[in-house]
Structure 1
Amino acid sequence: MIEFVTHSAEDQLKTSITRRAALLVGSAGLLAACNVIPEVDKPLNLYSLSPKVGAVSAPSTLDWQLVVAEPKAGADLATNRIALTRSANRIEYFAEGVWSDAAPALVQSKLIEAFEDVVPQLAVGRDSAGLKPDYILQSELRDFEAVYAGGSGEALVRITAKLVKMPERKIVKSISAEARQPASGAGLPGIVGAFEAALAQVFDKLIGEILTAPQS
């Protein structure tokens, strides 16, 4: 009887040790997996823009509607990746962040917001809203990248636009606006700040000339 009890205790001890070893192996595997997951699923930073457009001298009466079409862009810029160039005819992209939307859609949204902020009396919308406009602003995003030369970075934004009178579909104004702005700090956040300032300068020119076109 004593021997039976002794053998059962030994068996239980062996079983307990085996289970603990299995738990340790399983825990090690889970820890290893936890160490891998952040590297595999590391999220990218999303960047948006809030260009500060200056006040404009708008005409006293703005009894026409404007639709802002999404800008056209080449395949290198029609993406949410933030473009940069360090040599002629070569486009690269930042690895640590992207725009919150594809660049043409982002520019369209911010231009509509700029019109609404500085000319609230103007009826303005996007082409997908099914509006019947008096004018359509058609544009092309020619440059929207960070440029590095000699180690210093700057943002380059260039937009060409045409104001089209409807329903005649007649071009009444052609506009080209370009701005370069040095990086406001180190790294990608500094370049994003430069994009914001450059886009504000481009919007200033576009909005000023568009508002005067129907009157002229």
Structure 2
Amino acid sequence: MVALVAFVSLNACTGLGSLTKAVKQPNDLYVLTPKSTFSPALPRVSNQIEVEEPTATAAVDTDRIAVHPTPLQVQYLPQARWVDRAPLLVQALLIESFENTGKVAAVGRSAVGLRAEYMIVPELREFQAHVVPGASQDQTLRVNVRLNIKIVDAYEDRIIGSRSFQEYQPSASDAAPDLAAAFDEALGDAMRDAVEWSIRSISAHAARNPRPTLN
């Protein structure tokens, strides 16, 4: 489920007009959850995997929660943000999701100095809600999440697989908690499919190209 962190606002000074009102209305911060359930038939891989920070457009590479009222317009929810920039948030969730499979020898990000044999190179192509034309009043927004995943063989420095994973999830309302819950559901489904495909692809490639594992 979506976890909500509410900051306690500091006492604002009087006489600052609209700025004072803004200080009295701090942003609510939202986190998303990693995937924890996977196919029991996933193969085990003894390879070390590095997950890079996803690339994204400027509209997505932010901690603000994006909404498209029209296909060519981007707006952001007021007084609501993610706990981190969306690409960093997704990177951390992908790493934890890989760990939660229990099928990977080691997984981390480049900053930890992992000597990876395979690199997961994600692109966060869609991470926003869209206004649904003609929808009922209480269900006017639909979340769209699309991840493109490339798998790179670090030994050969070449891409061995590339695939996109897209999920849609309607929001129960236009309220921030409902919208964040829809993001959580859509991203979770996309990550599950991406992680399972990545593990199967790495397992198959490693079986065809046996090498000594790194210590």
Q: Describe how 1:197-212 pairs up with structure 2 within 5 A.
A: 197-212=185-200
Q: What root-mean-square deviation, in Å, do the aligned CA atoms of Structure 1 and Structure 2 show?
A: 2.1
| Partner Cα distance (2:170, 2:122) in 1 | 25
Q: Describe how 1:41-80 pairs up with structure 2 within 5 A.
A: 41=23, 42-56=25-39, 57-59=41-43, 61-80=44-63
The amino acid of 2:127's aligned partner reads F
The amino acid of 2:42's aligned partner reads A
Decide which of 96, 111, 114 is 1:128's aligned counterpart: 111
| Partner Cα distance (1:167, 1:176) in 2 | 24
Q: 1:148 to 1:137 in 2, by over 3 A?
A: same
Instruction: Specify the SS of the correspondent of 1:214.
Output: helix
TM-score computed with the length of structure 2 as normaliser: 0.79
Q: 1:32 to 1:139 in 2, by over 3 A?
A: closer
Q: Is the 8 A contact 1:83 1:145 kept in 2?
A: yes
Q: What is the Cα deviation at residue 51 of structure 1?
A: 4.1
Q: 1:97 to 1:32 in 2, by over 3 A?
A: closer
The amino acid of 1:33's aligned partner reads T
- The one-character-per-residue Cα deviations of 1:97-119 (angstroms, maximum 9, x if unpaired) are 01100000000001111111122
Q: Describe how 1:47-196 pairs up with structure 2 within 5 A.
A: 47-56=30-39, 57-59=41-43, 61-119=44-102, 121-150=104-133, 151=135, 152-196=140-184
| Partner Cα distance (1:131, 1:149) in 2 | 43
Tell which deviates more after alignment, 97-106 or 177-186: 177-186
| Partner Cα distance (1:32, 1:206) in 2 | 49
> Which residues of structure 1 form unaligned runs of 5+?
1-30
Instruction: Specify the SS of the correspondent of 2:155.
Output: coil
Q: What is the Cα deviation at residue 184 of structure 1?
A: 3.5
- The one-character-per-residue Cα deviations of 1:156-192 (angstroms, maximum 9, x if unpaired) are 1001110000121111111110000011445111010
Shift >4 Å, 4+ stretches? 34-38
| Partner Cα distance (2:16, 2:56) in 1 | 41
> Which residues of structure 2 form unaligned runs of 5+?
1-11, 205-215
Q: Is the 8 A contact 2:35 2:192 kept in 1?
A: no
| Partner Cα distance (2:15, 2:37) in 1 | 50
Q: Is the 8 A contact 1:53 1:201 kept in 2?
A: no
Instruction: Specify the SS of the correspondent of 2:38.
Output: coil
Q: What is the Cα deviation at residue 50 of structure 1?
A: 1.0
Q: 1:32 to 1:116 in 2, by over 3 A?
A: closer
Aligned to 1:27: none
Q: What is the Cα deviation at residue 154 of structure 1?
A: 1.3
Aligned to 2:209: none
Q: 1:33 to 1:91 in 2, by over 3 A?
A: same
For the pair shown, which has the larger CA radius of gyration, 1 or 2? 1
